[in-house]
Structure 1
Amino acid sequence: MCARKATDLTNYFSQAKQSQQLSEAEEELQQLKAEIEKLRSQGSAELEAQLATLRSQLQARAGIQQILLEDIQPNPEQPRQTFLPESIESMSHSLAKDGQLQPIILIQREKLVIFDGERRWRSARALGWQTMLAVIIPEPASLHRKALLTSLHREDLNPLDKAEAILRELAANTDPASQDIPRILSTVVRRLNAQKRMNSVASLITADSAAQQQGLDALELSEPEKSVLALLLDLQLNPASVDANIFPMLSLPEDLKAAIRSGLKGVHAMALQKLSAKNLGLSEEEAQSIRANTIQKVMAEKLSATATRKLVAEVIALQAQSSASVTKVKSVSIEVNRLQKLSLESLKQAEVSQLMEFQQVLRQKLVEIEEVLKQK
């Protein structure tokens, strides 16, 4: 098994050809981008320093330009779909105070598309800037994959954005339809866990492609299972972790997905999904109302995951008590209605012994009612 080693981009840059011919420059830029994506996917500690070197090299090849913000558009294949207002505000403050310290990277299409730097672009628009510093590169092959790799291992990428981006990449590069992929992954992970072979899959994350393929071949997988696991490993993701912590985001109710995009943590959303119509014994509309109030409390008070789970349990218990009380009230109302429906004709047709027994029961109930009324 061969562990991957981060490429030394400094040496790579120093050997780059100095030709100014467009074709050679484009090829060189593609190689530079490929190297930086490899570093990003490996989460290399050297990444930020190498990024600075990359930007210098891009500047030498293409030059930093002042680009009109109105000529720039976001990358539709950007894995990050969530840009919290406080994040934009923080970046806007930094831009206003210190200016733009690094150029954004754009891809040349009919319009200029952002490859790296969308948060800075959004913040500049919020500040009312007209232009930004940028370098322009040719469009990389497999744009979504490269954009995914730039974002995938960043801690601030929320789990819903991550889940949707991974699913999109799997659907584009494997045979199973997107709606079947989470089920296929869950099935194979459960089976390999039962066989105590899941650890061998996890050990393949840092292996090279040949070792990964060899390891998967030994597991007797179906072709869809193998293709899904192979791509996750190629992205340096643990399939078991994706199954347990990332793909569950895809099945959350829409209100919880919206809350995640507004800043709710994934672990909190997983706890809050227990406030379902079934668990609460309510209609979906009523359950959603309770979830909305609970979400607001969790976010406003910045509750921990443990405190959120405790709150959810309390809400469910309180609703159970309320439902039991309503049930008791309903049962009394039902008996009152039944008694009111007992007609005079029915009483006349009853035997004397039956009427006497009924009278005795009514007297006893009246005594009990009086006792309850005194207590209230």
Structure 2
Amino acid sequence: MPAKKPASISQMFAPASQNQEVLQLQDRVEELEDELRQLRLQELDSDVKTALEEQIQELAQQLAQQGGEHYISLEQIQPDADQPRTVFPPTVIQARAKSLREEGQHSPIILIPQTEDLYKLFDGELRWRSASHAGLTTLRAVFLTQDALDKLDRAAVFDRQLTTSLQSEKLHPFDLANGLVKLMVMRHPQLNEQVKAIPSLLNAVIQRLRRSGEIAELEAVAIADRIVQQEWIEKVCVSETERWILEAILSKQLNPVSINSNVFTLLSLPDDLQSVIRTAGLEGSKVLELRKVSGKNLHSDEAVATDLRIKLIHEIIHQGLSLDKIRFKVKAILKEHSDAQQRPKPLDLAQRLSSIPKQLKQAKVWEDAQKRQKLEKLLNELEGLLL
């Protein structure tokens, strides 16, 4: 279908109140889509599925009425640099492409007009990335004006984007780590100078809670309502910074223990591992296993560790290695280098020569004419080398 372009930028812009309604309707559409996906997985009654599909279509029509709907070329759309999701594994893109191909586009993406023929994504990047794989050249879209966006609380907007990414699709832990830190800083700019310290600050809180025995409460607190969470945070935190960190994590109903162990640890990854996350979408558990191949663990130079990781990454991607196989290979690499470290190092030449006089005194070589003759020959060769 050819792209349907509005006559002018002014015709694209809807009032701010409509923009807010667009966001609310979009939230509801994605909630229903997620519910529908779960129902399909559970193979429930087809009448229930049909009813949900009809609700999605109805809400999609409301989005079009409120914000105006247009067919926009994929080439005219740019990703949003502030989008919390940056990792899009090929398998996820192919799965969404299959859905677009077989089921069509359930809801329009949300775009921010930049010029007459250039738009920035506000919501729907996975659909945009998957569309070309589905054979599409355009996507249905509604518009959010830059003026209305400027009036919105940027922290609230990013908060919503992060929540949507968590709920609608599985967010890679690397994106979750960066998204949570960014949300903390947007809510509390004072944290900007402590960005790199946030993981260690959370770890310190977790360790203190372990010692006090309060760590067991976290699982229940994570899914409690906001009031209960706030009361608990006030009880356990000893500083404002700790409170801000726990508030951001718990507001997403996430367990800080899991974030500390499996998510924030990804923030200190070396460049090669960050790259394989972004390009191949390698799972966080596999990346954390690869990180064990480090210069420190190998008792070697970091460059050696990087080369070994890159070779292993190549195997993982091309052979589709499971986590268990990766663990096996990592253990083998570490054991090999550990064994090499434990082997006695050969003495250097000077040390070997200095030990000869003592050995000569103890040797019975002088009693054997044949050995004495051989030794004399070796001594003559040594004298010749030293001249």
If the length of structure 2 is used for normalisation, what is the TM-score?
0.72
Q: 1:295 aligns to what?
A: 313
Q: 1:322 aligns to what?
A: 340
Q: 1:55 aligns to what?
A: 60
- Contact 1:88-1:122 at 8 Å conserved across structures: yes
Q: Unaligned 5+ residue runs, structure 1?
A: 1-20, 343-354, 368-376
Please state if 1:123 is matched with 2:130. Answer: yes
- Contact 2:97-2:131 at 8 Å conserved across structures: yes
Give distance in 2, aligned partners of 1:91 and 1:219: 43
Aligned match for 2:362, one of 357, 360, 363: 360
Query: RMSD over aligned Cα, in angstroms?
Result: 3.5
Cα distance, 1:323 vs. partner? 4.0
Correspondences of 1:193-204 after superposition (within 5 Å): 193-204=210-221
Q: Compared with structure 1, are the counterparts of its residues 281 and 259 closer, same or farther at alpha carbon in structure 2 (3 Å cutoff)? A: same
Amino acid across the alignment from 1:104:
P
Aligned match for 1:144, one of 131, 148, 158: 158
Identity among equivalent positions (%) equals 29
Correspondences of 1:232-247 after superposition (within 5 Å): 232-247=249-264
User: Which string of whole-angstrom CA distances, capped at 9 and with x for unpartnered residues, describes residues 91-116 of structure 1?
Assistant: 45655x44843343223343532233
Give distance in 2, aligned partners of 1:212 and 1:357: 76
User: Which string of whole-angstrom CA distances, capped at 9 and with x for unpartnered residues, describes residues 250-304 of structure 1?
Assistant: 1122212222222322111212211111221221111111112222233433333
Q: Compared with structure 1, are the counterparts of its residues 65 and 281 closer, same or farther at alpha carbon in structure 2 (3 Å cutoff)? A: same
- Contact 1:277-1:283 at 8 Å conserved across structures: yes
Q: 1:80 aligns to what?
A: 85
Q: Unaligned 5+ residue runs, structure 2?
A: 1-13, 39-51, 372-387
Q: Compared with structure 1, are the counterparts of its residues 121 and 212 closer, same or farther at alpha carbon in structure 2 (3 Å cutoff)? A: same
Cα distance, 1:62 vs. partner? 2.5
> SS of the counterpart of 1:156?
coil
Correspondences of 1:1-376 after superposition (within 5 Å): 22=15, 24-32=17-25, 45=35, 49=52, 54-92=59-97, 95=100, 97-98=101-102, 100-110=104-114, 111-125=118-132, 130-138=137-145, 139=149, 141=153, 142-153=156-167, 156-174=170-188, 175-176=190-191, 177-261=194-278, 262-325=280-343, 327-328=344-345, 330-331=346-347, 333-336=349-352, 338=354, 358-361=360-363, 363=365
Q: 2:376 aligns to what?
A: none
- Contact 1:91-1:119 at 8 Å conserved across structures: yes
Amino acid across the alignment from 1:150:
T
Q: Compared with structure 1, are the counterparts of its residues 294 and 92 closer, same or farther at alpha carbon in structure 2 (3 Å cutoff)? A: same
Cα distance, 1:229 vs. partner? 0.7
Give distance in 1, aligned partners of 2:205 and 2:57: 41
User: Which string of whole-angstrom CA distances, capped at 9 and with x for unpartnered residues, describes residues 172-199 of structure 1?
Assistant: 2133221121111111111012111123
Amino acid across the alignment from 1:191:
R
Give distance in 1, aligned partners of 2:196 and 2:187: 14
- Contact 2:184-2:245 at 8 Å conserved across structures: yes
- Contact 1:272-1:291 at 8 Å conserved across structures: yes
Q: Compared with structure 1, are the counterparts of its residues 128 and 305 closer, same or farther at alpha carbon in structure 2 (3 Å cutoff)? A: closer
- Contact 2:233-2:247 at 8 Å conserved across structures: yes
Amino acid across the alignment from 1:315:
I
Structure 1 stretch displaced more, 67-76 or 142-151: 67-76
Cα distance, 1:223 vs. partner? 1.0
- Contact 1:232-1:239 at 8 Å conserved across structures: yes
Cα distance, 1:30 vs. partner? 4.5
- Contact 1:74-1:114 at 8 Å conserved across structures: yes
Amino acid across the alignment from 1:300:
H
- Contact 2:111-2:120 at 8 Å conserved across structures: yes
Cα distance, 1:82 vs. partner? 1.7
If the length of structure 1 is used for normalisation, what is the TM-score?
0.74
Give distance in 2, aligned partners of 1:23 and 1:222: 38
Give distance in 2, aligned partners of 1:57 and 1:46: 19
> SS of the counterpart of 1:78?
coil
- Contact 2:180-2:248 at 8 Å conserved across structures: no
Cα distance, 1:334 vs. partner? 5.0
Number of equivalenced pairs: 327
Give distance in 1, aligned partners of 2:215 and 2:207: 9
> SS of the counterpart of 2:224?
coil
